[in-house]
Amino acid sequence: MANWAELPHDLLTLIAKRVKVIENFIAFSAVCNSWRTAATKENFDAFSPQVPLLMLAADKDSDDYREFYSLSKQNVSRIFLPEARGPVECFPSEGWLCAISCIGEMKLLQPFSRISIQLPSLKALLSLHGEEAPKEGEWHCIDKAVLSASPSVTSDYSLVISRFGEGSLLSFWRPGDLNWTNINFKKFDGISTMVCCKGQFYALTFGGEVWVFDIACRSISKPIVEPRILARLRDDDVFHNPVHFYLVEISDALFILTRFLHSNGLGCYHTVKFNVYELDLTKAKLNKVSTLGNSAICLGRNGASSIDSSAFTIVKPNQIYFTDDGVDEYKYCEGGGGGRDMGAYHLDDGSIESFYPGLSLSPICPPTWVKPSFS
């Protein structure tokens, strides 16, 4: 082992630059001190594709560690993360978490470096609409938190929050802002899904309307955020059934995933199938597709993201790795907690198999996908 530790630094740097999976890069850095000096942020390609990790539910409120399940290594790692201890709801986006505590404190949290960015409070967010902050333990009605870009890569980013009051309401925050800014948008049928694609935010309502809006950088004193409708979709199979919707970008195109659930009427449910449609904004229609090509999709509570499966041996193409996001349902499921409805859906034959061997439950923050990244 001593011989390995004595490898020239220049050679170790060349080796480190060829490691593309962040989990392997972290393992590389743990070999010894000389290897750790080569495993710097500058020697890792921050834009190389990564397999998301499954952040499991917190086992207990007093635990300072959170567990992450790796698809590629098929094991669980414990990461010291006291900032996410207790009843903290986490919305993953761009490798970060929008973490909301039971007392209404909000922050952006990088789970692998523990760097945090303080956000205006939930009380400040609700005050935009003349509402009072919920009491401890009450549901705060936030259902989406989407970043335009990773704070690890740029300071020119924005965070959009979707919450449900008298309909779906949108607000945003940018670095340096002292408070949330309201977006002139209110839909009584509710926002089903939201995604940021090429710097623009897209929202799909339960009624089949696709909206888009931009948020100006801080150099513009008066950011004009006026959502505009792009399409009104009509598809009985999609919008006249009890399904969950997801917007996802694949190879610069937007796709809609529909997730069909079966309920036993007692609060318990499970996913039975997915349909995938390419979104044609020019003709305002959906084109059903039967294959994702080399892509796979990870989806959960806060949205969906695509993966190029050809870059990894463990990720299978044409497959959807889904986690539990039945916010309204799992709070009433017998036994409590979301996290029961997870699996890998094969789009070619409609079969579903398990990808996680255990059971991880939480009524507040069930297992969800987090993209590993440096900060």
Q: Where are the domains of the chain?
A: 46-370
Please count the residues of the chain. 375
pLDDT at residue 203, as a whole number: 93
CATH 2.40.50 fits 46-370, yes or no: no
Residue 339's pLDDT band, with cuts at 50, 70 and 90, is confident
Residue 350's pLDDT band, with cuts at 50, 70 and 90, is very high
Strands 319-322 and 295-300: parallel
Residue for token digits 């414990």? Answer: 78
User: Would you tell me how many other CB atoms lie within 10 Å of the CB of residue 287?
Assistant: 11
Higher-pLDDT residue of 267, 213: 213
Which of 50-54, 56-60, 314-318 shows the lowest mean pLDDT across its residues?
56-60
Model-level pTM? 0.88
- Average pLDDT along the chain: 84
pLDDT at residue 1, as a whole number: 47
Across the range 155-160, mean pLDDT stands at 94
Residue 97 contacts residue 148 (beta carbons within 8 Å):
no
Residue 24 has pLDDT above 90, yes or no: no
Residue for token digits 């992450």? Answer: 68
Q: How far is Cα 96 from Cα 150, in angstroms, rounded to an integer?
A: 7
pLDDT (tens digit per residue) in 204-218: 988 888 999 988 777
Q: How far is Cα 1 from Cα 107, in angstroms, rounded to an integer?
A: 43
